[in-house]
Structure 1
Amino acid sequence: MPDTPIPPPDAGTRPAFDNSYARLPERLFARLAPTPVRAPRLLRLNRALAVELGLDPTWLCSPAGLAMLAGNAMPEGAEPIAQAYAGHQFGHFTPSLGDGRAILLGEVVTPAGARRDIQLKGSGPTPFSRRGDGRAAVGPVLREYLVSEAMAAFGIPTTRALAAVATGEHVLREDALPGAVLARVAASHLRVGTFQYFAARRDSDALRVLADHAIARHDPAAATAANPALVLFEGVVARQAALVARWMLVGFIHGVMNTDNCAISGETIDYGPCAFLDAYHPETVFSSIDHGGRYAFANQPAIAHWNLARLAEALLPLLAAEEEAALDLARAALASFAPAFGAAWRAGLLGKIGIGTAQEGDESLVQDLFARMADQGADFTLTFRRLADAAEGRPEGVRALFADPAAFDGWAEGWQARLAREPGTAAAAMRAVNPAVIPRNHLVEEALAAATERDDLAPFEALLAEIGRPFDERPAGDRFTLPPREEERVRATFCGT
Structure 2
Amino acid sequence: MKHFSVQHSLAELGQPFSTACLPTPVAAPQWLAFNVELATQLRLPEQYWRSDEGLAVFSGNVVADWANPVAHAYAGHQFGHFVPQLGDGRALLLAEVIAIDEQRYDIQLKGAGRTPYSRGGDGRAPLGPVLREYLVSEAMYALGVPTTRALAAVLTGDWLQRDTAEPGAIITRIAKSHIRIGSFQFIAAKGDIAQLKTFADYVIKRHYPESAAAENPYLTLLTSVITAQAQLIAKWMSIGFIHGVMNTDNMSIAGETIDYGPCAFMDAFNPAQVYSYIDRQGRYAWGNQPKMASWNLTRFAETLLPLLSAEPEQAIELATAALLQFNAENEAAFLQLMGEKIGLKSATKDDEVLIRDLLNLMSANSTDFSQTFRLLSLSVANTTQGAAQLFADSSNWQQWANRWQTRLATQGLALNEVQQQMDATNPALIPRNHQIAKAIELANTEGDLSLFNRLHKALQTPFTLSGENADLAQPPMPEQCISNTFCGT
Is residue 377–residue 423 contact of structure 2 (8 Å, CA) maintained in 1? yes
- The one-letter code of the counterpart of 2:441 is A
Query: Structure 1 residue aligned with 2:434, among 442, 462, 476?
Result: 442
Render the CA deviation track for 1:27-53: whole Å, top value 9, x for unaligned.
Answer: 211111100001111110000000011
Query: Structure 1 residue aligned with 2:473, among 467, 481, 496?
Result: 481
Query: SS in structure 2 opposite 1:107?
Result: strand
Is residue 383–residue 401 contact of structure 2 (8 Å, CA) maintained in 1? no
Render the CA deviation track for 1:300-346: whole Å, top value 9, x for unaligned.
Answer: 00000000000000111111111111111111111111110010001
Identity score, percent = 49
1:13, distance to aligned residue in structure 2 (A):
10
Q: Distance in 2 between matches of 1:475 and 1:448?
A: 24
Query: Structure 2 residue aligned with 1:453, among 442, 445, 453?
Result: 445
- The one-letter code of the counterpart of 1:426 is V
Partner of 2:22: 33
Partner of 1:123: 112
Counterpart mapping for 1:266-305 below 5 A: 266-305=255-294
Partner of 1:7: none
Q: Distance in 2 between matches of 1:492 and 1:199?
A: 35
Is residue 3–residue 43 contact of structure 2 (8 Å, CA) maintained in 1? no
- The one-letter code of the counterpart of 2:121 is G
TM-score (norm: length of structure 2): 0.97
Query: SS in structure 1 opposite 2:6?
Result: coil
Is residue 16–residue 108 contact of structure 1 (8 Å, CA) maintained in 2? yes
Query: Structure 1 residue aligned with 2:64, among 48, 72, 75?
Result: 75
Counterpart mapping for 1:97-496 below 5 A: 97-359=86-348, 361-393=350-382, 395-424=384-413, 425-475=417-467, 478-496=470-488
1:275, distance to aligned residue in structure 2 (A):
0.4
- The more displaced of 162-171 and 328-337 is 328-337
- The more displaced of 296-305 and 223-232 is 223-232
- The one-letter code of the counterpart of 1:135 is R
Render the CA deviation track for 1:259-318: whole Å, top value 9, x for unaligned.
Answer: 000000000001100001111010001000001000000000000000000000011111
- The one-letter code of the counterpart of 1:485 is M
1:77, distance to aligned residue in structure 2 (A):
2.5
Q: Distance in 2 between matches of 1:493 and 1:82?
A: 27
Q: After the TM superposition, which parts of structure 1 deviate over 6 Å for at least 4 consecutive aligned residues?
A: none
1:16, distance to aligned residue in structure 2 (A):
4.1
Is residue 389–residue 395 contact of structure 1 (8 Å, CA) maintained in 2? no
Q: Distance in 2 between matches of 1:277 and 1:341?
A: 20
Query: SS in structure 1 opposite 2:470?
Result: coil
Render the CA deviation track for 1:31-90: whole Å, top value 9, x for unaligned.
Answer: 111000011111100000000111134423222221110011111121100010000000
TM-align CA RMSD? 1.6
Is residue 236–residue 264 contact of structure 1 (8 Å, CA) maintained in 2? yes
Q: Distance in 2 between matches of 1:361 and 1:64?
A: 58
* 2:80 maps to 1:91: yes
Query: SS in structure 1 opposite 2:77?
Result: strand
1:407, distance to aligned residue in structure 2 (A):
3.1
- The one-letter code of the counterpart of 2:245 is V
- Say if 1:144 and 1:14 are closer, same or farther in 2 by CA, change over 3 A: farther
Q: Distance in 2 between matches of 1:54 and 1:75?
A: 15
Q: Distance in 2 between matches of 1:328 and 1:419?
A: 43
1:476, distance to aligned residue in structure 2 (A):
10
Q: Distance in 1 between matches of 2:428 and 2:309?
A: 49
- Say if 1:477 and 1:184 are closer, same or farther in 2 by CA, change over 3 A: closer
Aligned residues: 486
Is residue 4–residue 98 contact of structure 2 (8 Å, CA) maintained in 1? no
1:360, distance to aligned residue in structure 2 (A):
6.0
Consecutive unaligned residues of structure 2, counting only runs of 5 or more, are none
Query: SS in structure 2 opposite 1:26?
Result: coil
- The one-letter code of the counterpart of 1:278 is D
Q: Distance in 2 between matches of 1:309 and 1:451?
A: 41
Q: Distance in 1 between matches of 2:177 and 2:350?
A: 41
- The one-letter code of the counterpart of 1:442 is H
1:201, distance to aligned residue in structure 2 (A):
1.0
Query: SS in structure 1 opposite 2:7?
Result: coil
Query: SS in structure 1 opposite 2:273?
Result: coil
Is residue 47–residue 57 contact of structure 1 (8 Å, CA) maintained in 2? no
Is residue 32–residue 80 contact of structure 1 (8 Å, CA) maintained in 2? yes
- The one-letter code of the counterpart of 2:312 is E
